[in-house]
Amino acid sequence: MVPQRTMGTSRAMDVERLGESMLYERKAQSYSKEEITDLIKNLDGINRRGSETLYWEDVEVGEQLPPLVLPPWTLQDQECQDTVNSQTVGTTGKDGFTGGDGKSAGAFEPGYHGLRLNTGHARTHPNTRWPWTAAVEHEDALLCAFRGQPGPFDHGGQRFQIPEQLFTNWMGDDGFIRRQYSALRRPVYYADVTTYTGEVVKKFTEVQEGDDSPGGIKGKATYHAVGIRWQGSNQVGEAQVPGTATIYLPSREHGPVQLPIPHPGNPPFVNYETFRKEWY
């Protein structure tokens, strides 16, 4: 592993604690044949509601969403997000090597030139002495210690996105995810299995009003909503990402979810404590 004294003072580690073990000590999970069998059964049991409409009147507080189980996390799962980013951002900068957001291009020679042009974004690899970015600490087993991690771990962005499949599997094609709040907890480490669960904790209606200012949609409509409390947990029971969500459902009495949803060009302020705890 990389010596901790090469980490410098720009990382999140407390330099006063150099030499101490600050790693989260958990090795990559190894699964038994029985555990693999159960995992495959859970994967095969995932159902999507699809075109079968779920009506607001048929939902009860306390209802459990069918769990969404992800197989052991791999570096391919990690890199699929990076691949999409590099292909969509690409080398759109005027210099031909950087993306429109100023970040370096994907890899190989263009990536090298991009890092040379963005020295504030580059680091020097302690082993190869070659430029690299801090993001590489997620998947490079030699550099994970720079984040105080025992091995490769996820970026976190996918943990915000994957719960949407939990919701859509349950609500079907006619529902609409209005709001979602996520909080990062334990990282997803190499070989972790994540199970997403959810519970209906609230049923209510709310009125949405909009205007014709820039970015707004004029109108007024009533929506039939449910509040969901959800969580993604790993195979040892640790919370990786908890959160809440508001889902609009069609009503037997009042009809389908009206889209687009009216909203003002300048959305109203939401207090952080409301946002963090009960943003239904």
pLDDT at 277: 66
Look up the CATH number of domain 33-73+162-277.
3.10.129.10
**Higher per-residue pLDDT: 90 or 242:** 242
Whether cis (ω within 30° of 0) applies to the bond prior to 242 is no
pLDDT interval class at 8 (50, 70, 90):
very low
End-to-end CA distance of the chain: give it in Å, rounded: 44
Domain boundaries, the chain: 33-73+162-277, 76-147
Evaluate if residue 92 carries a pLDDT over 50: no
What is the model's pTM?
0.82
Lowest-confidence pick of 11-15, 74-78, 102-106, 234-238: 102-106
Residue-wise pLDDT for 142-199, tens only, equals 888 777 788 899 988 888 899 999 999 999 999 999 999 999 999 999 999 999 999 9
Q: Of 136, 160, 141, whose CA–CA distance to 152 is shortest?
A: 141
Cα separations in angstroms, 39 against 31, 34, 76, 78, 138: 10, 9, 19, 20, 26
184 touches 153 (CB < 8 A): no
pLDDT interval class at 242 (50, 70, 90):
very high
Helix spans in the chain (H): 33-44, 75-89, 108-117, 157-161, 163-171, 272-277
As a whole number, the mean pLDDT across the chain is 84
pLDDT at 90: 52
